[in-house]
Amino acid sequence: MTSVKPTRKKIDEKKFFEEGTLRICSSLEIEKALWQCFDFIKNYIPAQEIYLQYFDADRGVTEILATANQDGGRLTNRIIKYTPEIAEVIRKDESLRQIIVNKADEHYLFADRLHKIGMPKASFMMIRLELEGKRSGGVSLWADGWNRFTDEHLNLFVCLKKPFAIALSNYRHYKELLELKNTLMDDKKYFQQQLYMHTGSELIGADFGLRGVIERVKQVAPLDSPVLLRGETGTGKDVIAHLIHNLSRRRTGPFIPVNCGAIPESLMDSELFGHEKGAFTGALETKRGRFERAHEGTLFLDEIGELSPSLQLRLLRVLQDNKIERVGGSELIDVNIRVIAATHRNLEAMIQQSQFREDLYFRLQVFPIFIPPLRLRTTDIPALVQHFIRKKSRAMGLKNTPVLRPGALERLNGYPWPGNVRELENMVERALILHPEGPVEFDVISPVPIRQEKKEHNVIQPDILSVDRLLTEHIQSILDMTNGKINGKNGAAELLGLNPSTLRQKMRKMNIPFGRKVYNKTA
């Protein structure tokens, strides 16, 4: 009896296209949609796994977005980087538009990868995905063993080329929207925390002890020049930084504070510059740093003298190039920020001891503002005391705001206030705890700490140098360092962050000599 070979039923490509398209469009979660589609395709094509990838021609990499097999689908986000030569071949080789490779381990693109993952024998089919004439990526089917696919399989697979391209494009846009949403939610949470921390901050003494400071603030606030706030601990440098930001053209942008002395050195890199997912143990997701958060706004670097030498160098590069690189990343990110730094330390002495970079100092010391200690502006004490009584009464939930006992302020005027405004605030809170019903009196005043006698902070006193004189001497020191050179690389204008013509105008106004006659060199 002669056996008859059964005839294979012809596949209806229209129905295959319709059903495959429905599966591909079944979910915005691409791994689920890919699995739904694979579960249908494997009935017609002997595939064991499917991959969806995005090709980035500019970076020369393929990002495998998702994969699926009989067990389900999953996101991968795996990056495959090619040499420039291979990337150029992939970009131009028309034979890769749709291809069957029945011995994948012998193919120039896949041999090394297959051996690494333990698949010495495999077959695959791939179709290039394009949208509006531009390549967007590809989708491939894989099977264990050689010679698993035929031209008939490829023709059937090509039917789904357009739906896959649309799905890939939609997923990438969907992913971008999710990332933007997460970014906005992250910013909202962060700014709410900052708003909570600074709610109720007022500038007391603007018409009295801080009048000179306010004049300097009004001069520099409209510009983008860096500002260095000098003054002892507790004088309110953070409040002045907020004021500069609020009076600037960046006031609608973010104000991002960084306490350089409060963040461990091991975490500072990540806090300032951010990190990529997987950059180190515990980096479970990509995180933006303070520089990125401050884009189009102001970055306030409090206690700048506490930065390590390596971070000082990275900060200098950011100030020079306006670009950052996340930890574990290779992509340069543009940032547009205004930097306000603050310190209670003697940076000049730190430079002499090689603890602070001189070039960073010149970048930051464009416009220094000295904030006087409380002992030099005792006229502000009555207003500050009343302000803190109201603030602390609300925080403590007192029904009525207690009044001061007559003569209570006299005890405060003769005290040297080593902790400045912060110490006064704490003293008012302690007095309210002791006398919640009033009247408020300051019967216990802390002794002056011994370290105050050592003049640890050693800041520049306002009666020694005025801000104008400070600026004049600073420009003169830069000119001496550059031997009178103003224009060009490492010239005075570049070190000061100014336009050369602007610098010359300031020098004429301040009667600072320059030119051939002074330095015997063309400025």
Comparison of pLDDT for 311 and 438, the residue scoring more: 311
Answer with the one of 350, 371, 392 that is the final residue of a domain. Answer: 371
Whether the CB-CB separation of 322 and 315 falls below 8 Å is answered with no
Q: Assign residue 380 the CATH number of its domain.
A: 1.10.8.60
- Total domain count, the chain: 4
Comparison of pLDDT for 403 and 135, the residue scoring more: 403
The string of pLDDT tens digits covering residues 247-301 is 999 988 889 999 988 888 778 888 888 888 877 777 777 888 889 888 999 999 9
- Arithmetic mean of pLDDT over the chain: 80
Neighbours of 292 (CB within 10 A): 19
Q: How far apart are CA 333 and CA 335, in angstroms?
A: 6
Q: Is 364 exposed, middle or buried (0-12, 13-18, 19+ CB in 10 A)?
A: buried
Same domain, 25 and 158: yes
Neighbours of 478 (CB within 10 A): 20
Same domain, 169 and 277: no
Q: How far apart are CA 204 and CA 207, in angstroms?
A: 8
Could you tell me if residue 94 is inside a domain?
Answer: yes
pLDDT of residue 460: 42
Q: Assign residue 219 the CATH number of its domain.
A: 3.40.50.300
pLDDT of residue 470: 62
Average pLDDT of the segment spanning 459-466: 43
Same domain, 220 and 363: yes
Comparison of pLDDT for 83 and 520, the residue scoring more: 83
pLDDT band at 244 (very low <50, low <70, confident <90, very high): very high
Same domain, 419 and 349: no
Neighbouring-strand partners of residue 73 = 68
Closest to 99 (Cα-Cα) out of 138, 63, 61: 138
Residue indicated by tokens 């490509």: 13
Same domain, 338 and 317: yes
pLDDT value at 302 more than 90: yes
Could you tell me if residue 456 is inside a domain?
Answer: no
Could you tell me if residue 228 is inside a domain?
Answer: yes
Answer with the one of 340, 371, 402 that is the final residue of a domain. Answer: 371
Same domain, 440 and 490: no
pLDDT of residue 452: 43
Secondary structure (3-state) at 126: strand
Secondary structure (3-state) at 94: helix
pLDDT value at 336 more than 90: yes
pLDDT value at 340 more than 50: yes
The string of pLDDT tens digits covering residues 92-144 is 666 677 888 887 666 766 666 665 555 667 888 888 888 777 777 889 888 88
Could you tell me if residue 232 is inside a domain?
Answer: yes
Secondary structure (3-state) at 443: coil
The string of pLDDT tens digits covering residues 211-233 is 888 888 999 999 999 999 998 98
Q: What is the largest CA-CA distance in the chain?
A: 125
Same domain, 366 and 391: no
pLDDT of residue 140: 86
What sections of 221-325 are H helices per DSSP? 237-246, 265-273, 290-293, 309-321
Same domain, 260 and 312: yes
In residues, how long is the chain?
Answer: 523
Q: Assign residue 86 the CATH number of its domain.
A: 3.30.450.40
Could you tell me if residue 363 is inside a domain?
Answer: yes
Same domain, 232 and 139: no
169: containing domain? 13-174
Could you tell me if residue 457 is inside a domain?
Answer: no
Same domain, 379 and 367: no
Same domain, 38 and 107: yes
pTM, entire model: 0.53
pLDDT value at 186 more than 80: no
Could you tell me if residue 222 is inside a domain?
Answer: yes
pLDDT band at 198 (very low <50, low <70, confident <90, very high): very low
Same domain, 443 and 472: no
